[in-house]
Structure 1
Amino acid sequence: MKRAATQRGLFLSLLLATSGARAVEVTMAFGDNLPPYILATSDAGIEVEIVRAALAYRGHVLHARYQPMGRIPVSFISGEVNAIMMDVGVDMAPHGGFYGKPPVLYDNVFYTLKSRNLIISKPDDLKGHSIMAFIGAAKRYPVWLAALNHVPGYVERNNQAVQPALLTLGRYEVILSDRLIFQYYTQLYQRANPGFVMPPLDEHTFTHANPRDYRPVFRDATVRDDFNAGLVHLHKTGLDRAIQDRYLKN
């Protein structure tokens, strides 16, 4: 009851903030699927909902389009969309883009079973171990992974749902994943397999997220400013945390 009342209050605060605003239809390109951040089939996810709520703060309406990552900058440059979730390494300023603040930051770490007593504090510590990472990890972290890219024990897979099980079964000694993604898939696996218990893990931090890598881009500077104001509001009211909890606690 208290939770429902809180959510109603947050919704009303967003509604009141939109009065007098110039509403804009924002067609934004997102990656095609990355639970729990992006759930393309249901037009939802932590990232999508935070962006939608931040835009709604000043009356703007989000129309999400889900595309392969390589297509995202092309769709902005061609005019197919008027916003993109991130620039994927292509500077959008020369193409009329205005950068906003990042709605989420991906927090990638190395996971190992505590029972293995592995220490990962430098790239050489990964040598000789079997590693499963997400697609593009070696390009994202060349200092750590480029030398392993063609080693049989290193693989990159798009399907991260299997990571918790494969780590537990010992198929891979090291898993590279974002913390929320790994937590989300661990919970899904536990629901599908009630007897499954995740053994104690070690998390090895090897980098710090660069906010510049996760900035959305808008064609309209005013919409960008409104979006930034919406993010501040979501953080002050706790709505961003409520959105995250809905995916990770329910």
Structure 2
Amino acid sequence: MNTAHVLASIALALAGPAGAATVSMAFGDNLPPFILADQDAGIEVEVVRAALAYRGHVLQARYLPMGRIPLAFKARTVDAIMMDVGEDMAREGGHYGVAPVVYDNVFYTLASRKLRIRTPQDLQGHSVNAFVGAAARYPAWLQPLVHSRDYVESNRQEVQPQLLALGRYEIVLSDRIIFQYYTRRLQKRQPGFVMPAVDEHSFVHANPDDYRPVFRDAAIRDDFNAGLAQLHKSGRYRAIYDKYLKD
């Protein structure tokens, strides 16, 4: 093989697999431990990055407020978005992938209160702290509360375990993983703090379709799906979760 052929072979090797691309994808701007924008990391980001890398693609994450995510896709300023935020992106030429993560929201109460939450009426007369947009996502459960001073939506989910423990709110609405993550962080920051026993009240079935990524390129979507399946098969998917929850 002559020098020209050697150099060409090296160049192809450095370029990576045929069809490999840099994929710009819009994520929410911060939602620990799923999205840690300042670290370009988090469970959701790492799963997507690893799934794309399975066939040589490189993730370029862009962190945006949730409302701007579908706008970025429609404006063609990104190649993909992590969830459609309720808009049908198929109309915009989008190709839906398999959900890399699913948020499992539940109501938390102190076990000592012995509350039962089985219907929306069970929330009446109680103070509730939820994440921003919760009433819009679960109108049957939360819209009747939005005009009550006992109902608050806040982006500061890091304080939810402490608010519940101190009795500032009787009910907290949070994803299970997010609540566990912030409980662990609280116990690390305050070694003497002990989280009281809590009850989890499931009230809806998490729908993976609500958390599907959307790609402009169907082939990259297919590569992502294949990579995600491999992450599950290899055990690396579970390892990414454990990295953030067992530190």
TM-score normalized by the length of structure 2: 0.93
1:91-240 map, 5 Å: 91-240=88-237
Letter in 1 for 2:85: V
1:41 aligns with 2:8: no
Letter in 1 for 2:200: E
Structure 2 unaligned regions, length at least 5: 1-14
Letter in 1 for 2:234: T
Separation in 1 of the partners of 2:152 and 2:37? 25
Letter in 1 for 2:50: A
Shift in Å at residue 94 of structure 1?
1.2
Letter in 2 for 1:106: Y
**Secondary structure, counterpart of 2:106 in structure 1:** strand
Shift in Å at residue 20 of structure 1?
3.8
Separation in 2 of the partners of 1:208 and 1:106? 10
**Secondary structure, counterpart of 1:199 in structure 2:** coil
**Secondary structure, counterpart of 2:59 in structure 1:** strand
- Could you say which structure has the larger radius of gyration? 2
Separation in 1 of the partners of 2:205 and 2:169? 24
Letter in 1 for 2:67: G
Structure 1 unaligned regions, length at least 5: 1-17
Separation in 2 of the partners of 1:19 and 1:61? 10
RMSD over aligned CA atoms reads 1.0
Shift in Å at residue 208 of structure 1?
0.9
State percent identity of aligned pairs. Answer: 68
Q: C-alpha deviations, 1:172-200, integer Å up to 9, x for none?
A: 00000000000000000000000010111
Quote the residue 1:90 is aligned against. 87
Separation in 2 of the partners of 1:84 and 1:183? 26
**Secondary structure, counterpart of 1:147 in structure 2:** helix
Cα separation, partners in 2 of 1:79 and 1:19, compared to 1, 3 Å: closer
Quote the residue 1:15 is aligned against. none
Shift in Å at residue 22 of structure 1?
1.6
Letter in 2 for 1:191: K
Separation in 1 of the partners of 2:26 and 2:18? 23
Separation in 2 of the partners of 1:95 and 1:113? 45
Count of paired positions: 233
1:59 aligns with 2:73: no
1:241 aligns with 2:232: no
**Secondary structure, counterpart of 2:153 in structure 1:** strand
Letter in 2 for 1:72: I
Separation in 2 of the partners of 1:58 and 1:202? 42
Quote the residue 1:77 is aligned against. 74
Quote the residue 2:10 is aligned against. none
Separation in 1 of the partners of 2:190 and 2:181? 14
Q: C-alpha deviations, 1:20-68, integer Å up to 9, x for none?
A: 4421110000000000000000000000000000000000000000000
Separation in 1 of the partners of 2:239 and 2:19? 27
Separation in 2 of the partners of 1:113 and 1:44? 32
Letter in 2 for 1:158: N
TM-score normalized by the length of structure 1: 0.92
Separation in 2 of the partners of 1:76 and 1:20? 26
**Secondary structure, counterpart of 1:63 in structure 2:** strand
Letter in 1 for 2:241: Q
